[in-house]
A and B are shown apart, each in its own frame.
Chain A
């Protein structure tokens, strides 16, 4: 079974609709992240959470909100979807690095969202 799962895998919606993307992990990691990926651009961070009580904005949080329901679950919501939110969305997890500095991130399979 996959360690990081995302649902749905594909979603088509209309402008103005509220959408929720869900992420679950079985790795036991405290840290979870939401990214979006657009053609020709690197992954960009939307929100991240270092534990259940810790939620932080990333570089492109406008138009998005998140909820960390449990250590294993981190959901991303688009309150009122707009066409330029059409993208691939990835959830990722990581553990605290004993060595300090960076640590490996494990990615889910992604959700392809299309906003018409």
Chain B
């Protein structure tokens, strides 16, 4: 089985409820943030991104909130479905740099 998810914090939610996954980022100069979803046996998949000139961005069933004051990023998933079960992690980067800093991730478990 997958070893990537070991030792990760886990969020368990009931199917149909909303999920909120949090991320504390490290660099106040970071200006671009991404949320990724990683299912078992697969590579990370882009969900949504946000630039530092925004506080909120919405996608299909997902919303990302950015609080630059406390360097906090959150991912909200509306009406969570079984297919949302995965590890979610954030990434940040600064202007003009190649380097992305990835969080360790949170495992989301959707209970039927």
Contacts and interface: CB of A to CB of B under 8 A. Distances in A.
- Check if A and B associate: yes
B104 A101 contact: no
Contacts of B31: 101-102
A113 to B, nearest CB: 12
A98 B13 CA distance: 38
A116 interface: no
Contacts of A39: 3-7
Interface residues of A, number: 30
Contacts of B99: 45, 58-59
Given A102-B31, A104-B46, A107-B45, A42 B51 contact: no
A88 B4 contact: yes
Interface in B54-107: 89, 91-96, 98-105
A26 B3 CA distance: 29
Interface of A: 4, 31, 37, 39-45, 48, 50, 56, 58-59, 88, 90, 92, 99-110
